[in-house]
Amino acid sequence: MIFDLDITLLRPFWLLVLLPFAGLSFWLLRRRARLGAWEKAANPALLQAMSRLGQIDTVRYHGTPFILVGVAALTLFALAGPAVEHRSTQSFRNLDGVLFLVDVSASTTEHADWHTAQTSARFAISGLGTRPAGLIVFAGDAYAAADMSVDHLQMGQTLSLLDAETVPNDGSRPERALALAHERLSQAKVIAGDVILFTDGGGLSEVSLQDVASLASQNTRVSIVAIGEPTAQMQTHAAIGNGRVFRAEDTNALHGWLQDDARIRLEQQDFPLLFWHDLGRYLLWLALVPACFLFRRNAV
């Protein structure tokens, strides 16, 4: 539920517990009796005489039940989770992610453009901001080298260490890397992402094209960084994946694609990115104010 003051109760079911406390407050107001109900248990004339002699303490328990009810009411309202919406939050954690798929087969890692492609990948990672990123390496099979995380420094260091010995399986199977990327993005609950495939074109086929189409249907762009000359297969895969083909030396272009173009793409989507700040903790501090009166001492 949302009130006129733009306050939302994240856990409104706690308000149901307020009902018995409201009944208790009404009962106390009607009863008007001090703690122990001596007015009903003792002789009225005796109480009147003792009061004149100053033998009845009329202050010690005055209002105590009402204070307890007030503290309980504030506590329950705090547990209900009053919150305000923050629209200035810049984090896209678990909403928009990037996966780098790197072919580490011998034909790729021994190519003259290999180190240039590594540099391009590391520079692209530096511009991701709060977007989580992951790394998948493949040759004859595909493996997750780095889980989805915002620790981009660690992933950049991992990228610089990749070579032909990273994956023990010979060959080049990009379709397995693409299938693993689909699985990883789903597990991370990414609603829009980018997959960047670093390859020399080996293993691209109709099977990998189907995997690209599957990723594109899930709001994920598939782009290719060509290690060597771009091929027609690369262009076809990038077109189906709503992505682009970059050369290994297109460092700035790849950086801008993942930074600026991704931001524009997200802003055009109709995603309800709502972030709420829970105010309940502050109400608990407020509840301590009336609670302090329960510990007051009377002067002798």
Q: Each residue of 137-160: pLDDT tens digit? A: 999 999 999 998 888 888 989 999
The answer as to whether 2 is a domain residue is no
User: Could you tell me the pLDDT band of residue 71, with boundaries at 50, 70 and 90?
Assistant: confident
Residues 291 and 237 in one domain: no
Comparing CA positions, the residue from 222, 219, 132 lying closest to residue 177 is 222
Residues 239 and 110 in one domain: yes
Whether residue 81 contacts residue 10, with contact meaning beta carbons closer than 8 Å, is answered with yes
Q: How far is CA 283 from CA 71, 75, 170, in A?
A: 10, 7, 62
The answer as to whether 115 is a domain residue is yes
The answer as to whether 239 is a domain residue is yes
Residue 52 confidence (pLDDT) above 80: no
The answer as to whether 187 is a domain residue is yes
Name the phi and psi angles at 195, rounded to 5.
-120, 125
Q: Which residues are CB-contacts of 137 (< 8 A; sequence separation ≥ 6)?
A: 101, 102, 104, 143, 145, 162, 166, 167, 177
The answer as to whether 167 is a domain residue is yes
Residues 77 and 213 in one domain: no
- Could you tell me the CATH number of the domain that includes residue 189? 3.40.50.410
Which residue(s) pair with 194 in the sheet? 98, 221
- In three-state secondary structure terms, 143 is strand
Q: How far is CA 150 from CA 14, 29, 134, 190, in A?
A: 36, 57, 9, 14
The answer as to whether 123 is a domain residue is yes
Residues 133 and 15 in one domain: no
Rounded distance, CA 258 to CA 129, Å?
Answer: 10
The mean pLDDT value for 254-270 works out to 67
Residues 57 and 110 in one domain: no
Please state which of the ranges 45-49, 51-55, 148-152, 273-277 shows the lowest mean pLDDT.
273-277
The answer as to whether 218 is a domain residue is yes
- In three-state secondary structure terms, 126 is helix
- In three-state secondary structure terms, 159 is helix
Write out pLDDT tens, residues 189-210: 887 889 999 999 999 999 999 9
Residues 63 and 161 in one domain: no
The answer as to whether 300 is a domain residue is no
Residues 105 and 245 in one domain: yes
Write out pLDDT tens, residues 109-128: 999 999 999 999 999 998 88
What is the pLDDT, as a whole number, of residue 177? 97
What is the pLDDT, as a whole number, of residue 55? 64
Residues 101 and 58 in one domain: no
Counting the structural domains of the chain, the total is: 2
E strand or H helix that includes residue 193? strand 192-199
Residues 135 and 185 in one domain: yes
Residues 257 and 148 in one domain: yes
Write out pLDDT tens, residues 1-47: 444 457 778 888 888 887 887 777 777 666 654 545 566 666 777 76
Rounded distance, CA 240 to CA 249, Å?
Answer: 23
Residues 264 and 279 in one domain: no
The dihedral through the CA atoms of 67, 70, 72, 74 has a sign that is: negative
Print the domain residue range for 163: 96-268
Q: Which residues are CB-contacts of 138 (< 8 A; sequence separation ≥ 6)?
A: 101, 102, 103, 104, 167, 172, 173, 174, 176, 177, 180
* First vs last C-alpha separation in the chain: 51
What is the pLDDT, as a whole number, of residue 39? 62
Residues 59 and 177 in one domain: no
Q: Which residues are CB-contacts of 126 (< 8 A; sequence separation ≥ 6)?
A: 152, 156, 255
Rounded distance, CA 23 to CA 73, Å?
Answer: 12
**What type of residue sits at position 294?**
L
Token pair for 44: 């009225």
